[in-house]
Structure 1
């Protein structure tokens, strides 16, 4: 790696680490734990990259690639993977349920707004919505997830949607899971464009301005939130219309597709800037 590229990469890594380390410090993760996780990921990715390059992955080869000892490489290779599957599934299923509620005509009123749903029923109910969009999770369990996120409320008339997007409120473990999945997807998109961007670039853009008057921030945030939510709902409709049937399309390997939108309000001197 030449000196200019090494410096640019070092600066980029530092920018990524500053807000990330701020999060892990606030939640009590010591440097030793963080460093151990970094070593584990180094070893795992080195094995993956060697295999993708057509080489035979080995502890010796990975040791040479990462700078770790062969003993350390072997120990980390044999270490079990950490699993947050439960949080990821809960988050993804909640998103699918809300997206179905806001776009499927069976769950909309005459004005096209999400209607209040009866808890039970074969069609047009909260139970049928969950069954249709989240698989085999019980409707009572999904209701608990959405209530904990302050996304729905149960009234005498039925289940009412309070927010058109799911963000965990009372479930910090799920919020941390979102940090891992969403940031990883953005970095993976940029990494793809660095490596294969000329042949098949992934869309990755942002708009920003460093001279915005503070009095305009709240209005812009409200306006952009509404526009972004509407756009994401359009994306959901398209993706839902092109889903495979897992029971019928057994010979088709499904793809995971994601498009994300974020809002940032960086203040001078903040750890994110």
Structure 2
């Protein structure tokens, strides 16, 4: 019977294969990744020690993470001088505007789809959507960003949303931003269920021996189911967000949540499977 350590290692190695493929296809080979991974082990070891109420000394960090003590000292100093990453904001302004657009009944047509909005004026308008989130950002700047990402277009005096959710069609960095946070939270839910006996929603439907046409049809069915779930969850999320922001102090609004789904199909002989 394999040990828990062996089971966990094999599980993580299998889950990492698509990520390693992404690294290799973008010029990041093993030495660079291994060197960068030291800081991840160090950060998580520090978090674990803090959770246990233990002091995060260089020796304790080295023992817990397996990173050499010399590297612990060097990496700790480097992390102390680093400035916070700007992309750690919960969600950028463009994504918030799209989310509110899709969750506001006045911005939807009779079929529940986003309808074109006037660029300016009283709600419902694009300008009002932006102002409902923040008055520190100009609506034109948000509109330019959505247009750059292929998410919206200007049609005369109206703004038209081109996609049912915030999925940038342009901008590698933006797509990578959402990929890292989506994958992180999916993995965090699965790990919590396995290690902490939590009960987060983390399920999947699996079927094999399908034709290519059947797989494509199943993808369409899954996309339709996602649109229905997206509409319900996004509406509730927006309503709860607005309620809590208006009725509770900031100190009581420290939680965040993410809901998502995925679909993948491949040939049995595909190395990506």
SS of the equivalent of 1:242 reads helix
Of residues 206, 209, 214, the one that matches 2:207 is 209
Query: Normalization by structure 1: what TM-score?
Result: 0.89
Change in CA separation of 1:92 and 1:192 when aligned onto 2, cut-off 3 Å: farther
Displacement of 1:157: 4.5
SS of the equivalent of 2:124 reads coil
Structure 1 residue runs of 5 or longer lacking an equivalent are none
Q: In 1, are the aligned partners of 2:119 and 2:157 still within 8 Å (CA)?
A: no
Q: Where does residue 168 of structure 2 map in the other structure?
A: 168
Aligned partners of 1:134, 1:167: CA distance in 2, in Å? Answer: 22
Q: Where does residue 238 of structure 2 map in the other structure?
A: 240
Higher relative contact order (CA 8 A, sep 6+): 1
Aligned partners of 1:135, 1:235: CA distance in 2, in Å? Answer: 26
Change in CA separation of 1:259 and 1:111 when aligned onto 2, cut-off 3 Å: closer
Displacement of 1:7: 2.5
Identify the range of structure 1 (55-64 vs 111-120) with the bigger mean alpha-carbon deviation. 111-120
Query: Normalization by structure 2: what TM-score?
Result: 0.89
Identify the range of structure 1 (135-144 vs 28-37) with the bigger mean alpha-carbon deviation. 135-144
Displacement of 1:101: 1.6
Does 2:220 match 1:187? no
Q: In 2, are the aligned partners of 1:91 and 1:174 still within 8 Å (CA)?
A: no
Change in CA separation of 1:34 and 1:65 when aligned onto 2, cut-off 3 Å: same
Change in CA separation of 1:201 and 1:114 when aligned onto 2, cut-off 3 Å: same
Does 2:46 match 1:44? no
Aligned partners of 2:262, 2:127: CA distance in 1, in Å? Answer: 31
Displacement of 1:163: 1.1
Aligned partners of 2:272, 2:246: CA distance in 1, in Å? Answer: 42
Deviations 1:43-62 (A, max 9, x none): 11111101111111110111
RMSD: 2.3
Structure 2 residue runs of 5 or longer lacking an equivalent are none
Aligned partners of 1:136, 1:25: CA distance in 2, in Å? Answer: 40
Change in CA separation of 1:136 and 1:230 when aligned onto 2, cut-off 3 Å: farther
